[in-house]
Chain A
Amino acid sequence: MKESKRAFPLADVLPGLPDQHWASFVLPLAVVLGLALFPFITGKDVHRETMFTVLRAIVMAVSLNIILGYTGYVSFGHVVFYGLGGYVGFYLVSEKGMSLWVALLAGGLAAGLLAWVIGAGILRLRGAYFALVTIGVNEAVRALIQNLDIFGGPLGLEMNFSVYKAYGGPQAMLQMTYNILVGLAVIAVLLSYAVRTSKFGLGLLAIREDEDAAEVMGIIAPKAKTWAYVLSAILPGMVGALFFFRNGSIEPHEAFPLHISIEAIVMVMLGGYGTVLGPILGAAGYQVMRAFLITNRYLKNIQLTVSGVLLLLIVLFIPAGLIGWLRRRIPASRRILL
Chain B
Amino acid sequence: MMESVISFLISVTPFLIDGLLLGFVFGVAAMGLTLIWGVMDVINLAHGPIISLAMFGVYLLTVTLGWGNPYIALIVVAALALPIGMGIYYIAVNRVIDAPHLSSLLATYSVNMMLMGVMNAVFGGAPRNIEYSLGTIQIGESITIPTARLVAAVAAAGIATALYFFLYRTRIGRYIRAVTDNRDAAELVGVPSTRILALSFGIGTLLAAFAGGLIATIFPFTIFEGSKYELKSFVIGVLGGLGNPIGSLFGGLILGVIEGLVPMFLETSWTPVIEFTLFVLILLVRPTGLFGGKS
B117 and A132: CB pair below 8 A? no
CB distance from B248 to the nearest CB of A (A): 15
Chain A residues contacting B126 (CB-CB under 8 Å) are: none
6 contacts between A and B (CB under 8 A): A72-B100, A122-B283, A131-B105, A140-B276, A302-B118, A308-B117
Interface membership of chain A positions 53-73, coded 1 if the CB is closer than 8 angstroms to chain B and 0 otherwise: 000000000000000100010
**A132 to B293 alpha-carbon distance, docked (Å):** 15
Known: A131-B105, A265-B106, A311-B106. A143 touches B276 (CB 8 A): yes
Task: Say if the beta carbon of B284 comes within 8 Å of chain A.
Answer: yes
**What's the tally of chain A residues with a CB closer than 8 Å to chain B?**
45
A132 pairs with B113, CB closer than 8 A: no
How near does chain B come to A311, taking the closest CB pair, in angstroms?
4
Nearest CB on A from B50, distance (A): 14
B267 touches A (CB below 8 Å): yes
Residues B280 and A131 in contact, CB atoms below 8 Å apart: no
User: What's the nearest-Cβ distance from chain A to residue B95, in Å?
Assistant: 5
Stretch at the interface among A84-92, A238-246, A312-320: A312-320
Does B157 have its Cβ within 8 Å of any Cβ on chain A? no
Interface size on B, residues (CB 8 A): 44
**Do A135 and B231 touch (CB < 8 A)?**
yes
- Digitize B269-295: 1 where CB-to-A-CB distance is under 8 Å, 0 elsewhere: 110110111011001100100000000
B74 to nearest A CB, angstroms?
26
Do A302 and B231 have beta carbons less than 8 Å apart? Answer: no
A304 contact from B92, B102, B117, B234, Cβ within 8 A:
B117
Distance in Å from the Cβ of B274 to the closest Cβ of chain A?
Answer: 9
Residue contact A133 to B284, C-beta cutoff 8 Å: yes
A20 interface residue, CB < 8 Å from B?
Answer: no
In the complex, the answer to whether A136 meets B276 with C-beta atoms within 8 Å is yes
A137 within 8 A of partner (CB) = yes
Query: Residues of B contacting A309 with CB < 8 Å?
Result: 110, 114
A301 to B112, CA, bound (A): 16
8 Å CB interface, B237-258 against A? 238, 242
Q: Which residues of B contact A (CB under 8 A)?
A: 37, 41, 43, 91-92, 95-96, 99-103, 105-107, 109-114, 116-118, 120-121, 231, 234-235, 238, 242, 267, 269-270, 272-273, 275-277, 279-280, 283-284, 287
**Do B277 and A133 touch (CB < 8 A)?**
no
Judged by a CB distance under 8 angstroms, whether A74 is at the interface is: yes
Q: How far is the CB of A115 from chain B (nearest CB, A)?
A: 14
The 5 closest A-B CB pairs, nearest first, are A305-B117, A308-B113, A304-B117, A140-B276, A308-B114
Contact A147 B287 (CB under 8 A): no
| Shortest distance between the CB of A248 and any CB in chain B (Å) | 25
Least distance between A298 CB and chain B CB atoms (Å): 11
B235 to chain A, nearest CB (A): 8
Q: B106 to A269, Cβ gap below 8 A?
A: yes
A122 to B113, CA, bound (A): 28
Please indicate which of the listed interface residues B91, B95, B270, B280 has the most CB atoms of chain A within 10 Å of its own CB. B280
Q: Which of A113-150 contact B (CB under 8 A)?
A: 121-122, 124-125, 127-129, 131-133, 135-137, 139-140, 142-144, 146-147
Interchain CB contact under 8 A, A132 and B238:
yes
In the complex, the answer to whether B117 meets A303 with C-beta atoms within 8 Å is yes
Q: Which residues of A contact B109 (CB under 8 A)?
A: 262, 311
| B107 contacts across to A, CB distance below 8 A | 312, 315-316
A204 at the interface (CB under 8 A from B): no
User: Is the C-beta of A17 less than 8 angstroms from some C-beta in chain B?
Assistant: no
Docked pose: A76 CA to B116 CA in angstroms: 19
Chain A residues closer than 8 Å to B102, beta-carbon distance: 68, 74, 265, 269, 273
Chain B residues within 8 Å of A121, by CB: 284
